[in-house]
Structure 1
């Protein structure tokens, strides 16, 4: 029996190694024009099958013309990355910001992982931001990188960053016709787009500029293997054995830390929190709530605690900062909104899908065999579930979230003045929340137009579609989600009441305007 298990494990290991090698060969080789055209057809077929409103911002005739033109231009063999540069602009022309397309990356073999550990991009330790079509280092997450925060990146290797940014802007889309999302998104996701379009390298030479000084530094890929000596240090001082009291105290500290990290959404990479609330230092009492995204950790306790603090302090001014907030959970933005209204409300309308079983597609078309197996086992239960959650109206399938029902406001909600800071990367859930606050005239918006559309988006649950030949991946939203409000013309974000263009300097001009406005109002 032991011998059979050993043989079985050996076969699995060898087949796994072989499959990794086969995969790496497939994504690095050139693909015939016929195979690439088949990938285009496959992608368009899957989009029509899964996306609930593919022709929202583009006509069927225009999209099919673009698809046919792309196929006619595929006349020579291309690698997956070369194909991506032609493929992505065509399919992002549907102007759906949640549609994400990326190239396959080389997989590590088990031997490589065993020797070095798992690899991460040379850009992983940096965050970026753009201003006036220039790219700047926003933050550094490692101590051993000799780059100064705030430096402009002029070139990567021999390529001008201005040229890279210009080409990357064609590879993704905003929701509709918005112009503020892409410049910011391409900047903050610079490493993602660079990896999609360039051959994998373990080191990259960055040419940087700080004021009038130019300098160059390498950034390196990280491998998470920690090399430790197997030999014990006989000269080292042994750790003193902790007493029961010390252990108990340490346990309590860890417990409190875990609870805090969960409530505020601790980000291990950035070493900061996702949700923050403070009272600003000014002549007036101002609550400042900075939400970096509606993801990561719990949220109910945070909002409950924050609004209790506001109430106790008798604070009548609240700033909600949604700049750079790319979205997240419906449940979280619904919870936040319930503190900001005193009326019953419907948060979103029923979500349109292409079919009753569309929301199950990701579970049955995953590469994870455990997930696929569990989905198969529980398919009868899922079938009953969809009977209650998905209804057909006039031949269209609609998923009914609990947020589509009448909701009640929190009894201890905030009735003071609300300001919302927005920019091009206020997207998805941030925009749905902003739509409510704008439509009900509950808040004053300051900054730049949101990247997410006022009239809704296609998101919710996502399907991952892999093209059979190039192995390019597409992430497709399966649900059309919109608040019960709309404006004309369609395809634009929530526009600020007080437009202030973002400038990279030490002053937060948008926030300073709000503080001055509150102080002036209080003096009247």
Structure 2
């Protein structure tokens, strides 16, 4: 299971045994927790030096450890260690104070009061969590005396939701959780001084901070009407279908994924659909086998999904940790020695797969964005490597070559009471293109970035562009902002 939204639940359960530490930590306590952190990475993470070579990573470890020579609060220790997690370039690693919200780990009041939309180095207000003082749609220029560009460049290097060198997952996180990141890494004042542009004029407002309860209530009020997570619809043209998959896991009481695939692709065959739009935006992943199941309905020929699944070690860990009981019981059967390391062997995606009986062979269009992550990016990588589809939207937050996820090992630092969750399996995709750049995501053939006007009006620019592309039989690469 890879879905990052589920992992905090596991960490919360683990964190129930000890509440977060509010007291100041001594240098001795900090060094003990640092040693646990370093040991856990060494014994669990499948490829800790995939993007940052070991000598460079060791230098970062030495620099971080040297800073732990004075008393620190939990937040100071958390922030000091974040560069090490960022250097892993692994969006699955979790670093959460026990029992706290992943995105608001230290402050549940004194939070930034505006909902924002960020594109590269610019930011717009698209809503308010408190009093409606700043109009929607205005560009924010400065917050508490600091330029928006400086703030964005301060936050991005402290954000971990990205595989490799991708950045769109970080931008999506800013759009959803800017208030939490600002409070953690910059400041949490009682009021926020905001400078913004209205037309050709610059104006200033002082806005009181809000609470996390206000933010959550605002998000709840903005939620669209609930829909089933797996949907197949037919626009005006009967030759086109739109399949939306919001996640790669299911609740049998709600919807069965296999049954959905069977029925959907039967309909596509019976209706003789020529073009299928597969919408995977905001799909952060789920279970690996679901991606394999879906691709069997889209593949043109037999395929291998994964090249290998690596595991750091087979023996028991030298530190207190939680792993699923089922894995502990059967790892002796499914983890095998290979070369200098170990591999996980029981995964359908490692075997040669055949297309399903009702496989769709028409034109395929796949929609992606920065929240297309984990299993979703793995699936998109297989489709892209096989040149099976046209891709539209924005680069994925997940890495093209694979990720480190699956089953997680979770340990709690004994003094700081921070839960560290590390994916135990290194999934590497099979038959990748030779032109692939290290650390890149799936880059669309047609890059389409929603504008602030689209966000405010609820316009789905990416879907509109895709349907227009189908109607005009457009081709080639495009960048639309």
Tell me the SS of whatever aligns to 2:83: helix
Question: Contact 1:455–1:485 (CA<8 Å) still a contact in 2?
Answer: no
The gaps in structure 2 that reach 5 residues or longer are 1-14, 102-106, 215-221, 475-481
Q: CA 1:153 to 1:194, structure 2 compared with 1: closer, same or farther past 3 Å?
A: same
Matched, 1:414 2:408: no
> 2 CA distance for matches of 1:281 and 1:154?
43
Q: CA offset at residue 519 of structure 1?
A: 1.6
> 2 CA distance for matches of 1:361 and 1:318?
50
Aligned position for 1:171:
158
Aligned position for 1:277:
232
Q: CA 1:205 to 1:275, structure 2 compared with 1: closer, same or farther past 3 Å?
A: farther
Q: How does 1:209-288 map to 2 (within 5 A)?
A: 216=207, 219-222=210-213, 271-273=225-227, 274-281=229-236, 285-288=239-242
Question: Contact 1:81–1:198 (CA<8 Å) still a contact in 2?
Answer: no
Aligned position for 1:308:
266
Q: CA 1:289 to 1:59, structure 2 compared with 1: closer, same or farther past 3 Å?
A: same
Aligned position for 2:246:
292
> 1 CA distance for matches of 2:315 and 2:35?
23
Tell me the SS of whatever aligns to 1:515: helix
Q: CA 1:127 to 1:300, structure 2 compared with 1: closer, same or farther past 3 Å?
A: farther
Question: Cα deviations across residues 30-78 of structure 1 (Å, max 9, x unaligned)?
Answer: 2123322332232111101000111111111101111111222333221
Comparing 304-313 and 149-158, the one that deviates more: 149-158
Matched, 1:365 2:310: no
Q: 2:439 aligns with which of 491, 495, 501?
A: 491
Q: How does 1:39-118 map to 2 (within 5 A)?
A: 39-104=33-98
Q: 1:426 aligns with which of 372, 375, 382?
A: 372
Q: Which has the higher contact order (CA 8 A, sep 6+)?
A: 2
Question: Contact 2:247–2:284 (CA<8 Å) still a contact in 1?
Answer: yes
Q: CA 1:157 to 1:222, structure 2 compared with 1: closer, same or farther past 3 Å?
A: farther
Question: Contact 2:18–2:417 (CA<8 Å) still a contact in 1?
Answer: no
> 2 CA distance for matches of 1:512 and 1:342?
27
Tell me the SS of whatever aligns to 1:170: helix
Q: CA offset at residue 287 of structure 1?
A: 1.2
Q: CA offset at residue 82 of structure 1?
A: 1.4
Q: 1:518 aligns with which of 440, 464, 470?
A: 470
Q: CA offset at residue 470 of structure 1?
A: 1.7
Q: CA offset at residue 209 of structure 1?
A: 7.1
Aligned position for 1:343:
301
Matched, 1:38 2:32: yes
Question: Contact 1:351–1:480 (CA<8 Å) still a contact in 2?
Answer: yes
Q: CA 1:444 to 1:79, structure 2 compared with 1: closer, same or farther past 3 Å?
A: same
Q: 1:505 aligns with which of 453, 456, 465?
A: 453
Q: CA 1:150 to 1:512, structure 2 compared with 1: closer, same or farther past 3 Å?
A: same
Aligned position for 1:460:
406
Question: Contact 2:368–2:392 (CA<8 Å) still a contact in 1?
Answer: yes
Q: CA 1:311 to 1:478, structure 2 compared with 1: closer, same or farther past 3 Å?
A: same
Question: Cα deviations across residues 427-446 of structure 1 (Å, max 9, x unaligned)?
Answer: 21111111111111110112
Q: CA offset at residue 337 of structure 1?
A: 0.9
Q: CA 1:479 to 1:496, structure 2 compared with 1: closer, same or farther past 3 Å?
A: same
Q: CA 1:465 to 1:137, structure 2 compared with 1: closer, same or farther past 3 Å?
A: farther
Question: Contact 1:356–1:398 (CA<8 Å) still a contact in 2?
Answer: no
Tell me the SS of whatever aligns to 1:28: coil
Q: CA 1:472 to 1:355, structure 2 compared with 1: closer, same or farther past 3 Å?
A: same
> 1 CA distance for matches of 2:265 and 2:204?
48
Tell me the SS of whatever aligns to 2:157: coil
Q: CA 1:280 to 1:137, structure 2 compared with 1: closer, same or farther past 3 Å?
A: farther
Q: CA 1:458 to 1:20, structure 2 compared with 1: closer, same or farther past 3 Å?
A: closer
TM-score, normalised by the number of residues in structure 1: 0.70
The alignment's C-alpha RMSD in Å is 4.1
TM-score, normalised by the number of residues in structure 2: 0.75
> 2 CA distance for matches of 1:470 and 1:495?
39
Aligned residue pair count: 431
Matched, 1:323 2:309: no
Q: CA 1:294 to 1:193, structure 2 compared with 1: closer, same or farther past 3 Å?
A: farther
- Which one has the largest radius of gyration? 1
> 2 CA distance for matches of 1:270 and 1:206?
31
Question: Contact 1:354–1:396 (CA<8 Å) still a contact in 2?
Answer: yes
Q: CA offset at residue 412 of structure 1?
A: 0.8
Q: CA offset at residue 497 of structure 1?
A: 1.9
Tell me the SS of whatever aligns to 2:35: helix
Q: CA 1:389 to 1:197, structure 2 compared with 1: closer, same or farther past 3 Å?
A: same
Q: CA offset at residue 160 of structure 1?
A: 7.4
Aligned position for 1:115:
none
Q: 2:173 aligns with which of 170, 185, 188?
A: 185
Tell me the SS of whatever aligns to 1:53: coil
Indicate the structure with greater helix content: 1
